[in-house]
Amino acid sequence: MLVSVVDGLAALLKECEQCGREFAPVNIAHRFCEAQCRIDHSFGRAKEETLRRRRTGFAWPPVVPAKPVTVKAPVRKARKPGKWKTCVVLPDPQIGFWRDLYDGSLTPFHDLRALKIALQIVEAERPELVVWLGDVCDFAAFGRYRQEPGFAMTVQPTIDTAHEWIALTAELSREVRFLEGNHDARIHTAMVDNVQAAAGVRRAKAGPHEWPAMSLPSLLRLDELGVKYVGGYPSCATYISHDLAAVHGRFHGARAMQQNLDREQVSIIQGHTHHTQKEARTRNLRDRPTFAFAYSPGCLCRIDGAVPSRNSGLDAFGKPRRSWEDWQQGLAVVRYHDTLPHKYEAVDIMEGWAMHAGQEFTA
């Protein structure tokens, strides 16, 4: 009799359609072992996500510092230090991803061809200085615009990928500086707006100069790479030379360079606009002229509609539609001197091709 009862109870057990756990259904239409499984199934979440939530309390893996990478650049004869030095300026890669709603694959916002060309030029120049001009990370999941399902679980791959590209430039140059842009600042803004009590929290017994645990320089491991983080957008700036400052930029649009020259008394190179622009101003002093320039070298992100913007759109499957923005890809090479005026060289990148110093670069 006991055996038949046990067999009868076993016959009543059913496998949850989301997590696979056996449960006793209330009725024949009962498909899930708990309400959360029903919710996960309705959102199309994978079985692994449900099991992770049950095991750790997190449906998605928590954001952690980037996986450290080891980079070994080819050995080249070092250029002898001279009076003239070189800086390579890398604008707005907006590293980030769309996640496919059906297979989980990632589509990048950043343009891999443009970034590869940028790295080739850094390798060819072996500069004294590389400046990442801001918006290195996009962080669409922390943006103030509509949150698309495809932004889910893209923060960690963004951090890991950005770390890898920064590490490569650090290996190929003597110094790297990272300017905070408005997109880079999104992660801090999201912390302040949503979990203010956690903003600024550091590890136990942290030193006086250690970054907060969830700050971007901590997540990107910039100190381990020897990279200087220049934060405080939009006020942050770093001087490449005595007469040229680099900023991410508070102005955009057709008059952005003119606005810079109206506001500043030094030459400016900025990102933010995604346009290649140059403006010059000659001012009259008592016995001589002064010259000021404003430059925008373009961007290193995709310009085919993949980057979320006011002009981008998604199809019925949540994938970005291909439509070219009025943006231009490029970077800048700056020759600078302790006392003489700087020399700015724009490097335009078009469809995986660029020319610099008489040499072609392709990706």
Helix residue spans in the chain (DSSP H): 2-12, 35-42, 47-56, 112-125, 155-172, 186-194, 216-219, 222-225, 256-263
Tokens 């940028």: give the residue: 118
Q: What is the pTM of this model?
A: 0.83
- The answer to whether residue 66 is domain-embedded is no
The DSSP output letter for 141 is G
Structure token digits, residue 303: 């310009």
Task: Evaluate whether residue 65 is within a structural domain.
Answer: no
Q: Is residue 70 part of a domain?
A: no
Residue 52 and residue 200 in one domain: no
Number of domains in the chain: 2
**Dihedral class, residue 20 (left if φ above 0, else alpha if ψ from -120 to 50, else beta):** left
Q: Residue 310: which of 327, 330, 325 has the closest Cα?
A: 325
Is 152 a domain residue? yes
- Over its length of 363 residues, how does the chain's per-residue pLDDT go in tens digits? 544 544 554 557 888 888 888 888 877 777 888 878 877 777 677 787 777 777 766 666 678 888 888 777 666 655 555 689 999 999 999 999 999 988 889 999 999 999 999 999 999 999 999 999 999 999 999 988 888 899 989 999 999 999 999 999 999 999 999 999 999 999 999 989 988 888 889 999 888 889 999 999 999 999 999 999 999 999 999 999 999 999 999 998 889 999 999 998 899 999 999 999 999 999 998 899 999 999 999 999 999 999 999 889 888 888 889 999 999 999 999 999 999 999 999 999 999 999 999 999 999
Q: Domain containing 7: what range?
A: 2-56
pLDDT recorded at residue 144: 82
Same domain? 52 vs 98: no
Give the pLDDT confidence score for residue 319 in this predicted structure: 87
pLDDT value at position 222?
97
**Residue 68 forms part of a structural domain:** no
Check which CATH number belongs to the domain holding 194 and give it: 3.60.21.10
* pLDDT the model gives residue 4: 53
The reported pLDDT for the residue numbered 5 is 45
Same-domain status, 16 and 153 = no
CB–CB of 114/72 below 8 Å? no
- Name the residue among 162, 204, 160, 205 with its Cα closest to residue 180: 162
């992660």: which residue's tokens? 187
ω into 297 cis (within 30 of 0): no
The predicted structure's pLDDT at residue 277:
96
Are residue 37 and residue 120 in the same domain, yes or no?
A: no
Distance set, CA 292 to CA 239, 240, 258, 260, 266 (Å): 14, 15, 11, 10, 6
Residue 350: C-alpha distances to residues 146, 216, 289, 330 (Å) = 31, 31, 37, 8
Whether residue 209 sits in one domain with residue 129: yes
The verdict on 24 and 129 lying in the same domain is no
Tell me whether residue 72 is in a domain: no
Q: Are residues 310 and 244 part of one domain?
A: yes
| 89 shares a domain with 51 | no
Same-domain check for residues 268 and 153: yes
